[in-house]
Structure 1
């Protein structure tokens, strides 16, 4: 097919561009703009027929000073490389990426998995799940699992931008995934921590002192839990970002925290928001009673665990409903046997 006829065919299908192999195609309409240098479009993988997100990281879109722009662009260009090195069920997948030096804007293209639903903030509002304790337990367990995986790497990886807007959910399965790794950093010797990363309402106070580690992600996670419990945005009592930053630096918590009435969730949040030296690790929080109690809740079990073992759906069902390794029949089979016995007697 000639270049002209190929372009015409793409235009008829609503396709804006394709990669050099023709496998990935991008549509015209952007679906999000998570930061000034990044635009996300819907697309399709023609080999598998699966929807994808086509992300463009564009240096020329920023209005910041040249030196600052170039540094941030280089940092954001590390995102696809880092994502491809990570393998965890609760971290978004990067399928491919490539630089595009033919444009004066200096662009990097990144292909990631697409999610059927919105980010966790929009999803919880849309489906009235704000304050839903069972849903919050399941979300928290998955987010903590991703953070534990990141923080357990050598050297540890810090996300630095944990927020509900950067956590995405598949509404069909309940699976949540941590995304937007543009600010992520490996905490190795000489790592550059001389900048503020993330939304100020989610930041830990020590970020502003430029003396922080992966525990700052836990503080941000705690703010996520407050946001899960509140329809209003955290720090909505503030008039602007400067006021939010001032309150965070002084250790003033958002008003929304005082409206959390569930004592178990409030204790859990307080653990997350403790001082840096007293703040628990993600692995500790995964053993918290609030999270452990999620194991007894019958939810959808799909995919593989972080250890790589496949979920055994039937065994999970039996254990959840009262069966297991003790030799007795699971509850659902006992009820079925009883019903069969009653039917035989009626005959």
Structure 2
């Protein structure tokens, strides 16, 4: 692919790595990192757009084949998904020389929802409902996909935002499960504060994502991570198993918002699906018009 080099390009930022097709170039700037992968700012030279270069050092997991399989599963999953509220995958490859798994995804300009919400303390209820509705649309796509996909680790740190458009996208599908016609899964995985009680019983369906979504809404409204009053995982587990709600829920004065979150946190048999929640009266008339557009501070 021919590239146009600017004249006198000595002061342009240099790539530290390019993909085998030479279409994508990685900059040294780190956008984020976790226990498994690092995410760098990168550039798609063909389309002229910024992208995210996700990189996993495979040698770190040479003695953990289960984790390696999970990583490759995320890539395979993303490759088969196409929804505007789920992060898009553009390209992936393994670099044998550097012993890395690399995949190029779209980049969201404003980072994750947790940091975005902390940065912007004054957000209207209308905006929060718009974000919530987009997350539900992404979940509904996954849950009605054939086969059904359960995210299993939905929380505000792996939901991403384009702040200039208000667009919200679900990412980090590394713990997602593809389930058959019975829609049930059996592994204990996820972020404790956001995990539904039935997850701990190792017998659950895609409705665990709805519970996690409810906790995301709680965090969006209060800017508090659920169960932050607990100082360890065991205490969170004890409260979740006993059906004790996070203290943050009591700080919500708006009864409509509180009731909506409670519907998401209900027992599995009473918990609505993403499709049902998209039709919930909670979203009536408030997403597209300014009525009841009060500010949450």
TM over 0.5: yes
Q: CA RMSD in A?
A: 2.2
Q: Which residue of 2 aligns with 1:53?
A: 52
Tell me, yes or no, if the aligned pair for 1:237 and 1:255 is still in contact at 8 Å: yes
Tell me, yes or no, if the aligned pair for 1:10 and 1:17 is still in contact at 8 Å: no
Counterparts of 1:199 and 1:265, CA distance in 2: 23
Q: What pairs with 1:1-347 in structure 2 (closer than 5 Å)?
A: 13-34=13-34, 36-62=35-61, 66=63, 69-103=64-98, 106-129=99-122, 132-188=124-180, 193-297=185-289
Tell me, yes or no, if the aligned pair for 1:33 and 1:39 is still in contact at 8 Å: yes
Give, in angstroms, the shift of residue 205 of structure 1.
0.6
Counterparts of 1:79 and 1:243, CA distance in 2: 30
Q: Which residue of 2 aligns with 1:327?
A: none
Give, in angstroms, the shift of residue 156 of structure 1.
1.0
Counterparts of 1:10 and 1:258, CA distance in 2: 58
- CA separation of 1:292 and 1:192: change in aligned 2, threshold 3 A: closer
Q: Which residue of 1 aligns with 2:293?
A: none
Counterparts of 1:200 and 1:44, CA distance in 2: 35
Q: How many positions carry a matched residue from both structures?
A: 282
Give, in angstroms, the shift of residue 37 of structure 1.
1.7
Matched residue of 1:225: which SS? helix
Tell me, yes or no, if the aligned pair for 1:286 and 1:292 is still in contact at 8 Å: no
Counterparts of 2:100 and 2:180, CA distance in 1: 28
Tell me, yes or no, if the aligned pair for 1:75 and 1:183 is still in contact at 8 Å: yes
Asked which structure has the greater CA Rg, the reply is 1
Give the unaligned 5+ runs of structure 2. 1-8, 291-297
- CA separation of 1:225 and 1:10: change in aligned 2, threshold 3 A: farther
TM-score (structure 2 length as normaliser): 0.88
Counterparts of 2:260 and 2:113, CA distance in 1: 19
TM-score (structure 1 length as normaliser): 0.76
Give, in angstroms, the shift of residue 147 of structure 1.
0.6
Runs of 4+ displaced beyond 6 Å: 9-12, 189-192
- CA separation of 1:273 and 1:21: change in aligned 2, threshold 3 A: same
Tell me, yes or no, if the aligned pair for 1:115 and 1:169 is still in contact at 8 Å: yes
Flag the structure with more relative contact order, 1 or 2, with Cα contacts below 8 A and sequence separation at least 6.
Answer: 2
- CA separation of 1:191 and 1:275: change in aligned 2, threshold 3 A: closer
Tell me, yes or no, if the aligned pair for 1:92 and 1:113 is still in contact at 8 Å: yes
Give, in angstroms, the shift of residue 11 of structure 1.
11
More helix by share: 1
Q: Which residue of 2 aligns with 1:305?
A: none
Q: Which residue of 2 aligns with 1:333?
A: none
Tell me, yes or no, if the aligned pair for 1:80 and 1:97 is still in contact at 8 Å: yes
Counterparts of 2:130 and 2:43, CA distance in 1: 30
Counterparts of 1:190 and 1:262, CA distance in 2: 37
Counterparts of 1:259 and 1:175, CA distance in 2: 27
Give the unaligned 5+ runs of structure 1. 1-8, 299-347
